[in-house]
Structure 1
Amino acid sequence: MKKKIWIGIGVATLIILMVGVSVYRTAFAKPLAVEVMEVKQEKISSSLMVPGTLELQEEQLVFPSPELGQVEEILVEVGQQVKKGDVLVRFDDSQLSFEIEQNKISIETGYLRINQLQKQKEHLDSRKKELSEQVGKKEAEKQLAPEYDQIEMEIKLANLELKQTLLQKEALEEREKDFELTSLVEGIVLAVNEKTTELVTEVQMPLVQVGSLHSMIATGFLSEYDVLKVSKGQKVIVKSDVLPNEEWQGEVIDVASVPQSTGLGNPLENQAVQFPIIVQIDGGIELKPGFQLIMEIETEEKEGLVISSEAIIYENDKAFVYLVNDGIAHKQEVEIGITSGERMEIVEGLSDEDMIVLNPSDKVGDGMEVAVE
């Protein structure tokens, strides 16, 4: 009997001790320290990530031309600054040069012929004066009229022939310009290929490449799902893996209305279509044409409640935050709108100036007392 009493006393003592420890912990334990943030109304924008390629906005490629013949001379070198109208390449114009020399001779002959006829007319005027003293002015004009008519006609024909020859000279000078290819842009010579011939090959290399490094664009493609989100004038942030800590500002300057088909394979199947896009890059960029880029296009901007993505926890495809009121954490379901990096718009579930827990650990629970750091 006594043994049962002692067992009962021991069990009762253990229960009292456990209750006492629990009461002690409850009374003297510190609340869980948490970091919080305030929910604020801010501007937030959604963005679309599109791969792109850096290109020159102003560029000119000069290729060999079978119609112009063999290259006679390349007049520029790599790194040289050129202006619009500067001659880049001159082609062999041997046949044209021969025609120009012939034209020069014809012009000189024409002037000599006219001078000769003018002297003949002056000689006829002298004869007329002498004859007028002998037979009178009217009789002299009558006798010499056929010769005057003849020489006047020859002078007119000579002038017409000279005029025609001068017109031929202008035409030859225009043709001569065709053998000199000039720069259409103001910039720098980026490449010169001395080995390129006038023959067209399967892989045709340009004789000269000219471009402006101060005016760069990024080109890419949009899917049919994304093209409706992008329009001219939208802001763009351009980045590159080559310089990961750098970024450049830009603006959409063109979105194609007609898609470019990129589908391969069975023509009976639906082919993927993509819409070309061009982005103007503001200011200078330290990269070279052909470099691969990432274009972050701002597709929407709005004012809304914005929080950090670090405050969100996900359970069963739902989003929650811990809302702190009077030192107590309350689990609150929220609806997320647009996102921008680590910033998220909260469409429903929070109000302006609410305090929520940042980076909530597994120790945080609904209804738990917390201490704000």
Structure 2
Amino acid sequence: MNKKTKIIILISLCILIAIIGIYFLFPKGSNTQNIYVQKVSTIIGSSNTENRYSGVVESSETVDINSDGNKSITEMYVEAGQKVRKGDKLFSYDTTEASNSIAQKKLDIEAQNNEIAAQNNTIEDYKAELNRGADKVEIQARINDASYAIRQAQNTIKATQTEIDQLNKQIKNSTVLSTIDGIIKEVNKDGGTDESGNKKPLVSITQTSDFRVKGSISEMGSISEGTNVIVRSRINEDQIYKGTVTKVETEPQSNSNNNVYGNDSNESASKYPFYVTLDNNKGLKLGQHVYIEVDNGQSTKKKGIWLDASFIVSDDNGNSYVWVSEKGKLTKRKVELGKTDEETSTTKIKSGLSEDDYIAWADNTYKEGMKTTTEYQTETDGDANAS
């Protein structure tokens, strides 16, 4: 065998070895795409976590009380953080000036009454002169002048009495009372302005008898006014409250510490506050942190495994199966179906699947032997580690 023939044989052997290697590394039916699978217990136990948002319990109402700039405050009865009930005293205005003014006005009324008495005496004198034969035209003119002076004095007395009544009302209302049950949010006796440059209220009260929940959603979210939601305690997720989204802000909040989950997890997206009115708030506390979920009926737990229709495939022979991950490879497994809940579009799996299995959404392009992963991938993601 000559040298040229040996080289040809050697090259042929290398090509054959490479082909065999590729066959074993990438067997028939394999695919470089990793199929995303989820644990069954996760799917049926918290099927709504992809639409879960963080929230905080806050007051439905905040009452701001501004001071009268023309009055000075003599005493504050409350401080920030203090609980108050409707009718409790908040602060009092100085009534010294009003009291002094009332005293002066009473003297003015007394002077006007004296003027009226004097004018009445003058009129009696004029009438006596008429009886003695004085000029009737001249005397009548003087009586008319005196009567006019009396009417002026009477009008002055009425106006002054009205001013006294108003001052008495000021004194009576000089102590400002709380109009709601709540907690004093802030007291600004020295004035000042907020971050927007608006004048701060003298006293701000946060209502404690009625709560709402504030959440935030990104531009990619699916919350809108009228959406029915479930509010879930972070400490005990079985403690739930039902409510309705009553408002979604159109302007994004500047800074938000709320963590958003699932479809709303893009930290760079703008966050828009939304508000939930609760059917009841018994057991909730002001400032408590909660989860907010779109209400898809997940609060009603069913026994057994109930899968969404998107996981189940039926063939032409009437058999049903799901795609299951076994040792990191996709396998088609036959399952026995039970009842279907039309409201939630879920079907009970009677046999063939356990809560510890990992399954994929149904797709007619899947083939057995495909690699699986528990890390969700987009088209631009790199290969993930197979499960």
Q: Do the structures match in fold with TM over 0.5?
A: yes
Q: C-alpha separation between the residues in 2 aligned to 1:64 and 1:130?
A: 60
Provide structure 1 residue ranges, at least 5 long, that are not aligned to the other structure: 1-43, 265-269, 326-339, 347-352, 367-373
Paired amino acid for 2:233? S
Q: C-alpha separation between the residues in 2 aligned to 1:276 and 1:198?
A: 31
Q: C-alpha separation between the residues in 1 aligned to 2:226 and 2:350?
A: 37
59, 63, 76: which one aligns with 2:62: 59
Partner of 1:290: 287
Partners of 2:244 and 2:278 within 8 A in 1: yes
Question: Whose Rg is larger?
Answer: 1
How far apart are residue 47 of structure 1 and its match? 7.0
Paired amino acid for 1:91? S
1:140-151 equivalences in 2 (<5 Å): 141-151=136-146
- Higher fraction of strand: 1
1:1-373 equivalences in 2 (<5 Å): 48-60=51-63, 68-74=71-77, 81-82=85-86, 86=87, 88-94=89-95, 97-106=96-105, 108-135=106-133, 139=134, 141-169=136-164, 172=167, 180-185=175-180, 187=181, 189-191=182-184, 198-200=189-191, 209-213=205-209, 215-226=210-221, 229-262=222-255, 272-298=269-295, 307-308=306-307, 312-315=322-325, 320-324=332-336, 345=346, 357-359=352-354
Identity of aligned residues (%): 14
Q: C-alpha separation between the residues in 2 aligned to 1:63 and 1:318?
A: 68
Partners of 1:262 and 1:272 within 8 A in 2: no
Provide structure 2 residue ranges, at least 5 long, that are not aligned to the other structure: 1-46, 195-199, 258-266, 299-304, 312-320, 338-342, 358-367, 369-387
How far apart are residue 234 of structure 1 and its match? 1.9
Partners of 1:230 and 1:299 within 8 A in 2: no
How far apart are residue 282 of structure 1 and its match? 1.6
Partners of 1:45 and 1:300 within 8 A in 2: no
Bigger drift between 116-125 and 196-205 goes to: 196-205
Partners of 1:263 and 1:272 within 8 A in 2: no
User: Once superposed, what is the RMSD of the aligned Cα atoms?
Assistant: 4.7
SS at match of 1:151: helix
Partners of 1:260 and 1:276 within 8 A in 2: yes
Which structure has more RCO (C-alpha within 8 Å, separation ≥ 6)?
Answer: 1
Question: What is the TM-score when the length of structure 2 is the normalising length?
Answer: 0.55
Paired amino acid for 1:60? V
Question: What is the TM-score when the length of structure 1 is the normalising length?
Answer: 0.56
Paired amino acid for 1:55? E
SS at match of 1:144: helix
| Runs of 4+ that moved beyond 6 A | 44-47, 63-67, 201-206, 316-319
Partners of 2:48 and 2:294 within 8 A in 1: no
Task: Quickly say closer, same or farther: Cα 1:250–1:324, change in 2 above 3 A.
Answer: closer
How far apart are residue 217 of structure 1 and its match? 0.6
Bigger drift between 158-167 and 245-254 goes to: 158-167
Count how many residue pairs are aligned between Structure 1 and Structure 2.
273
